[in-house]
Structure 1
């Protein structure tokens, strides 16, 4: 039976959809369940205000961040366990960002996040070139995280294989907040606090402030880190139901040690070790980011409204790599130390209207946004004489600029009693400019420019057989430009940037169903396919640098299933399962082995796209009788191929976690104590991989069994 499940996920997914579509809802619902009255709430990921998420023809998950989780609140990946279609892999390496991919998009990223659109309080955390990061997402002040998957992600522009949005809490009255401290393995310590207030009734100004500090010695050798984060939101209510919001964010992570990846043999010998060159070159990374955002929302009568958002920020990176001294002898080498300064800003203007068309509910949105990134990239040798891991001579100096100008429109229409339509289109123009300031007799001028443009239409249809049941279909196109990091080195080893790279374009389709009842039971399922042309993949790794090429066609297809099942008043079971088949459809040549410059090894058509797992699943059984909460989790993943040739893979795994919490109600709030054991059975496994790592150090082992203890005081004024 288990063999059939593993061998025929497509049959299982189709069967699930068929059962949900063919069976009367009364056959699926709990006995005595009432019809559901669906709330009208804003769907921020789909840019809809008068439409419930249940009525959107897309896979949309909302994760509430309410402070009850028995977790430290360090990484966004903690909250994303159980979201189908999404892989959030913690690397045990705080010098690198969390690995995020959605339905196989973003899986090739060796650092940072590519192929996905990221937002924090509506402010892009993805730059115009498609490079993003989630390190500054502040969970201490978060209220919810939205994850949008499927064709409608394309309405967010370049590199929108999926969308992840974090929204921080609003100021509320009476004043409230929290103080939380936790201790975990490897001397990991997390302290966070928040305060929120909106004044007394009639006051128009409110605020929400949150800060956190994290320190760890690291599970692996040479992986100590410190992170400081702050997020502040100030809002002012304006006449006519308008609102003005100011959002400030600060993130600082100095000298986070990088243990680098391990080979398979090193993982077997000692999964906690760091690669020898990591200590030899003292590989590390410092990141600092500060940004401000301003949002303005104003209804203007007659169903019309106007929204505006402006933001600006700075992000500085200083990173010491393990590039060998000998490799830096090449006059075209950019050294082994990166000094990167980014200034970025943007503006989004949007008009919306809600009314009726032919007597049926109708909503229309149109707008434009422009984003700009100014990048000063310098490279230095990572040695001075015999001293390694220090800033040496200058080897690269570029002034890069990337900007986009997008126009978009979408319309939602309930054109019949049981039918609704959502359609939209976005036209994106992305411009790259590079000015080389490091020109020598042996290193020519590498300046250049390239422009990309694409129009991405989307269309979705929803049918409502009953008030508590939806069937939908959607289709659209998307595109992904190369990032500046991928443009940075030519595949032929020549001087200059790889301006010959073309953007990857995708055609996406999805079929899905959603059902829920008045008792809180929810079931969602979807089938999806994305066909990509001009897929981007690694061409070669030489001297610590990766170069990329377009490799033809690829396909990502699969199925998702999720369910929340209240078993009785105290017991809840949550399930999520994803099957993903992500493959190259054309063959292409690659380099293999360290220092390879001749792409002579052919990757055959049909090879799996590295970084993707065929299956992943999670289950959480929770018991919450009044003041106690106990939970048992199981999280599993299939094997993950680590390189294009498919010669190696990280084995699949299943791990169990258990947690317990006890709450005491006090006169001014509540005191909560929690404990959590991760990897209960101390299973040895690889938690994340470094795709196509040039030295064969693909693997980043996950930690063994670990205990977390925490205490949280949730306070509220005026509760005597």
Structure 2
């Protein structure tokens, strides 16, 4: 079922008007008076903490209520789809993880996150080669998410699309214990226990959860266990040390693979036969340790020191024999020092980031799920040193100028330990200067216009480089970094006391766009090449409407006109074609009803237009519309909070695809999504 965007807008407008009239009648006079959705908030992911209405970039914030209340908390997909400019797919294939794109960057990822910087509590979750997997993080421990769209290479370096910064729950002063359970269709079971508190100068927060599911499609079983610990020690009023630890054990995440349209028509729940035969499964264990030290020096200076270490043990089976098993042990470590100095009309922050990634990688033949002959054995290193200077000027009370500069040294090296086919050892070095200039003008506290220009770069990841189409080890010698220039103009407004508007228009020019493709003799394995020139023109609109104290509506619209300008391969010339994997139109609407009585209701609506599945634009995937509903009750009983809830995703039972494999061979583009999905749960907090 597909609903046109004009119809979507009419439906949403009608729903908002009807709900406004109905709730005006039934809402108690003592409903919770909340304006938190409308008030400007301080953004920390910009590295220089600034109110969002003063930042010369597009930024969105998702709070704890929208992340956790009434949600399955299986992944961040439920929440990130509510951000204008963000498009997410692959919510049901946990072996490949979420594929998230901002302004088109990240859409090409064969698995996980690509082209975006993911940060958790100020510590990078993205490895220096620009990849990340959100399956490492527990949504049930996230306090808020900040999303900066575009304009970030001058702050964080190797990323083109933006920043997704997650902040773990704040540690409360009073000790608490919390237990929650969520059960749902297709074998969903999620259990969580959480506790925390503060004693003198010491504070703690501990969280453990287990997630399991059999999945909608065959061969989609998931088992994942997560443990997180956050400890704080307040030496003085101006000095604090925070210790973070995380452990993930994912013994099984199966991959059902892509299907042809004919196979989808026969049985959309089936897995690709080769994926069954070759037992396509991912397993991994990961340990993450970090320390953050914050020190205020007088009234105008701050010092931040951080260090981290990640160890990941990863194994996966792919749906083919030749080199179809991948195993690697990863060590990712680094840290940084940052110093901030503040004057009345000037702020300066300067620092250095050091990140080192070392992957000890092997490839074996996949003998129907059993480990076969060793085909590749190499040590891959990716080292990045970045120096940055972030400056903010306020020449008048209305004008704010941000000028960020960053210089990155990037070194990539592969040491070949499999010498029977020759020594494929190689090195690559990149140096990149990334400037960013932004200006905002505040007419008053309620109206701001801004513009920015930034130059971004994005190196190929180790996975992209080492997937060599020649069949040998080492690096793909023909794959180069992509570079982009970004131009943005925006408007942020608070209209009266009930409406907030965020509007951004942008243009991005990308040179040497990195795009995925597959080879006929290696179906399921993805390679990468550069695509000449492309342009991305877009518009992002976000509206928050506080209809009543207990009733809030959200409406987001994203327009994406992303096209190749110059791109030719042996298969054809693609000048003027749309970039695959991104819809032209993306609409999201949400209504949240939270009266003081404790009952709550949440309705969500999402609609996207059709998507091209390949560079030639010869395969179009139909758009779709989804409606989700959550109902629950929050009741306080003598110090115990009880929160039962139920929900249904895709209540209209739309038939659509959860993921599209871009430029797939053998017409296996399609990964079907589940239909109507019921779930429910209970949270108890003492």
Q: How does 1:598-617 map to 2 (within 5 A)?
A: 600-617=570-587
The equivalent residue for 2:398 is 418
Q: Matched residues in 2 for 1:353 and 1:88: separation?
A: 38
SS at match of 1:416: coil
Q: Following TM superposition, by how much is the alpha carbon of 1:624 offset from its aligned partner in structure 2, in angstroms?
A: 2.2
8 Å Cα contact 1:154/1:160 also seen in 2? no
* Structure 2 partner of 1:407: 387
User: Given the two structures, how large is their TM-score scaled by the length of structure 2?
Assistant: 0.92
Q: CA deviation at 1:494?
A: 5.8
Q: Is the 8 A contact 1:490 1:497 kept in 2?
A: yes
Contact 2:338 2:351 in 1 (8 A): yes
Counterpart position of 1:691: 662
What is the alpha-carbon distance in structure 2 between the residues aligned to residue 60 and residue 153 of structure 1?
15
1:482 to 2:481 alignment: no
1-structure distance, mates of 2:190, 2:398: 50
* 2:368 is the alignment partner of 1:369: no
Match for 2:324 among 336, 342, 345? 336
Distance 1:241 1:42 in 2: 19
- Secondary structure of 1:57's aligned partner: coil
Q: For residue 290 of structure 2, what is the aligned residue in structure 1?
A: 293
Q: Can you give the 5+ residue segments of structure 2 that lack an aligned partner in the other structure?
A: 8-34
- Quote the residue 1:252 is aligned against: 249
Matches within 5 A, 1:153-552: 154-199=154-199, 203-324=200-321, 328=322, 335-356=323-344, 361-383=345-367, 388-440=368-420, 443-491=421-469, 496-516=474-494, 519-538=497-516, 540-541=518-519, 542-543=521-522, 544-552=524-532
Please tell me whether the aligned partners of residues 337 and 382 of structure 1 are also in contact (alpha carbons under 8 angstroms). Answer: yes
Q: Is the 2:153–2:457 contact (alpha carbons within 8 Å) kept by the matching residues of 1? A: no
Distance 1:631 1:452 in 2: 48
For 2:5 and 2:145, locate their aligned partners in 1 and report how far apart those are by CA, in whole Å: 35
SS of corresponding position for 2:114 = coil
The answer (yes or no) to whether the contact 1:117–1:126 under 8 Å persists in 2 is yes
Deviations 1:234-277 (A, max 9, x none): 01112251111000011111121111111122222221111111
Asked whether the equivalents of residues 280 and 316 of structure 2 are also in contact (C-alpha less than 8 Å), the reply is: yes
SS of 1:368's equivalent? strand
Matched position secondary structure for 2:131: coil
1:618 aligned onto 2:571: no
CA offset at residue 348 of structure 1?
1.0
1:170/1:233 contact within 8 Å kept:
no
1:36–1:676 distance in 2 versus 1, CA, 3 Å: closer
Question: Structure 1: how far apart are the matches of 2:431 and 2:615?
Answer: 28
Counterpart of 1:712 (choices 675, 683, 686) is 683
**Partner of residue 55, structure 2:** 56
User: Could you say which residue in structure 2 is the equivalent of 1:129?
Assistant: 129
Cα shift at 1:548: 2.1
Task: Report the alpha carbon displacement of residue 492 of structure 1 after superposing the two structures with TM.
Answer: 5.1
Say whether the 8 Å CA contact 2:517–2:662 is kept in structure 1: no
Q: Alignment length, in residue pairs? A: 656
Q: Distance in 2 between matches of 1:266 and 1:656?
A: 27
- Aligned-CA RMSD value: 2.2
User: For 2:36 and 2:110, how far apart are their aligned partners in 1?
Assistant: 44
Partner of 2:18: none
Which residue of structure 2 lines up, in the alignment, with residue 331 of structure 1?
A: none
Deviations 1:427-463 (A, max 9, x none): 11111000111111xx121110000111110011111
Residues 538 and 709 (structure 1 numbering): CA distance in 2 closer, same or farther, change over 3 Å? closer
Q: C-alpha distance in 1, partners of 2:306/2:221?
A: 37
Distance 2:244 2:208 in 1: 14
C-alpha displacement at 1:42, in angstroms?
Answer: 4.3
Matched, 1:673 2:661: no
What's the CA shift string for 1:528-555, capped at 9, x where partnerless?
1110111112354242433322221111
**Structure 1 counterpart SS, 2:548:** coil
1:693 aligns to what SS in structure 2? coil
Distance (Å, rounded) in 2 between the aligned partners of 1:415 and 1:445 = 59
Structure 1 residues 316 and 694 mapped into 2: Cα distance closer, same or farther (>3 Å)?
farther
Q: Is the 8 A contact 1:682 1:705 kept in 2?
A: yes
1:23 corresponds in structure 2 to none
Q: Deviations over 1:135-185 (max 9, x none)?
A: 111112110111110224542110231111111012211112421101110
TM-score computed with the length of structure 1 as normaliser: 0.88
1:622-648 Cα distance to aligned partner (Å, 9 max, x none): 222221111221111111111111121
Are the equivalent residues in 2 in contact too, given 1:471–1:514 (CA < 8 A)?
yes
Matched, 1:47 2:47: yes
Q: Deviations over 1:385-414 (max 9, x none)?
A: xxx111112111001111000000111121
